[in-house]
């Protein structure tokens, strides 16, 4: 039996960071990873440093909606390749859900597939909750509440940024009294903590206990997504000037406000085109950008940016980027011409309220 660990948590809660860290631990070396993302451009497989043989990116749709059957098929296909010796004999599989996934239909899908039940068993469902943004996510998004309710353990992340977690912990206890809560910073969960079988709610090993718990939290219902959610992707061959990237992110936050839930990307900067830069924003707060060691796929050095938002006009992010790039190019042309005339931000100022 291959143990399956489901790692969930709202957009930007730190799933990829935590997983990337654990995969460097000896106890986690023999781990296969299935990553599901909400959006047509998958990035997490590039951000999590796992073996490419046993890392599967499932970006055919949201795991709890359209891609439910795909998960069982993906796990079985990977397992068949393991049995045939085509991939390393991994000892467990981690399924990293998208930040918008309702875990209940995913658990149903895992339980309902007879072939999967013969070869795989659910070990744990861990939900990550961001100590900075988690309270707002619980307020606004049913997905975040369902993730917290369905987990058998909860990880409070980013406690280095928000050390006082008492109110959030109390809130989580009211949603899910049985799940232990671990508060960590920078994904530093002890390696063993996630490898013990979940004991809350009677444990997942017992399908009846799982079914009872899903019923208790309304898990038999269809997935509940916040209305109007969409992922918007931008891909660029030409490197992006740092000033244009900064103005673009600033402009998005200014115009989209609370409608912007998540922005992440791998960027080829004009000033350093050899090194990929990872950028992240959660809600309207940007995290510090981080250089990656290498490009995820040799030969593909394009910038890829994905935004997840509610009601953001589909073409607005690409048009804004084109406009700030043109402005930055014009600015550097003027500078090179020696006039010293400065125009940064002019476009953003003009477009206030445009989204």
Please give the residue ranges that form the binding site for ligand GTP (CB under 6 A). 9, 11-17, 44, 99, 157-158, 160-161, 185-187, 262, 264, 280, 287
CB of 94 to ligand GTP, least distance (A): 12
Question: Residue 35: is it exposed, middle or buried by C-beta count within 10 angstroms (0-12/13-18/19+)?
Answer: buried
The dihedral of CA 147, 8, 303, 263: what is its sign?
Answer: positive
**CB nearer ligand GTP, residue 161 or residue 354:** 161
What is the C-alpha to C-alpha distance for residues 44 and 36, in angstroms, rounded to an integer?
Answer: 8
Q: Which of 90, 68, 69 is nearest to 78 (CA)?
A: 90
CB of 119 to ligand GTP, least distance (A): 27
Match 């809660």 to its residue by tokens: 13
CB of 112 to ligand GTP, least distance (A): 26
**CB nearer ligand GTP, residue 126 or residue 217:** 126
**CB nearer ligand GTP, residue 210 or residue 305:** 305
**CB nearer ligand GTP, residue 290 or residue 352:** 290
Residue with nearest beta carbon to ligand GTP:
99
DSSP collapsed to 3 states, 198-239: CCHHHCCCCHHHHHHHHHHCCCCCCCCCCCCEEEEEEEECCC
Residue 126: φ, ψ to 5°:
-105, 130
**CB nearer ligand GTP, residue 70 or residue 325:** 70
**CB nearer ligand GTP, residue 133 or residue 201:** 133
Asked if 126 and 154 touch (Cβ cutoff 8 Å), the reply is yes
CB of 187 to ligand GTP, least distance (A): 5
CB of 132 to ligand GTP, least distance (A): 8
CB of 111 to ligand GTP, least distance (A): 24
Read off the DSSP letter of residue 332.
H
Asked if 335 and 65 touch (Cβ cutoff 8 Å), the reply is no
Q: What angle do CA 326, 327, 329 make, to 5 degrees?
A: 65
């Amino acid at each position: 039996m291959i143990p399956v660990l489901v790692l969930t948590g709202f957009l930007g809660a730190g799933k990829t960071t935590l997983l990337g860290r654990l995969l460097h631990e000896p106890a986690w070396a023999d781990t296969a990873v299935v990553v599901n993302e909400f959006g047509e451009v998958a990035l997490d497989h590039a951000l999590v440093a796992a073996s490419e043989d046993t890392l599967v990116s499932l970006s055919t749709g949201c795991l709890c909606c359209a891609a439910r059957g795909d998960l069982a098929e993906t796990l079985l296909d990977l397992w068949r390749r393991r049995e045939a010796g085509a991939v390393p004999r991994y000892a467990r599989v981690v399924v990293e859900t998208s930040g918008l996934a309702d875990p209940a239909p995913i658990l149903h899908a895992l339980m309902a597939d007879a072939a999967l039940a013969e070869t795989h068993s659910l070990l744990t469902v861990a939900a990550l909750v961001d100590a900075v943004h988690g309270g707002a996510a619980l307020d606004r998004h049913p997905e975040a509440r369902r993730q917290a309710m369905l987990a058998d353990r909860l990880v409070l992340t980013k406690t280095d940024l928000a050390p006082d977690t008492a109110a959030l912990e109390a809130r989580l206890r009211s949603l899910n009294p049985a799940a232990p809560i671990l508060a960590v910073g920078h994904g530093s969960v002890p390696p063993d903590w996630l490898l013990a079988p979940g004991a809350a709610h009677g444990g997942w090993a017992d399908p009846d206990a799982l079914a009872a718990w899903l019923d208790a939290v309304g898990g038999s219902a269809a997935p509940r997504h916040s209305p109007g959610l969409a992922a918007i992707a931008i891909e660029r061959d030409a490197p992006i000037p740092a000033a244009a990237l900064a103005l673009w992110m600033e402009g998005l936050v200014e115009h989209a406000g609370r409608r912007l839930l998540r922005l992440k990307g791998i960027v080829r900067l004009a000033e350093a085109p050899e090194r990929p830069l990872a950028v992240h924003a959660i809600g309207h707060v940007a995290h510090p950008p981080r250089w990656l060691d290498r490009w995820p796929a040799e030969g593909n050095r394009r910038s890829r940016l994905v935004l997840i938002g509610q009601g953001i006009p589909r073409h607005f992010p690409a048009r804004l980027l084109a406009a700030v790039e043109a402005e930055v190019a014009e600015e550097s042309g003027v500078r090179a011409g020696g006039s010293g005339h400065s125009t940064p931000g002019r476009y953003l100022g003009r477009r206030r309220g445009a989204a």
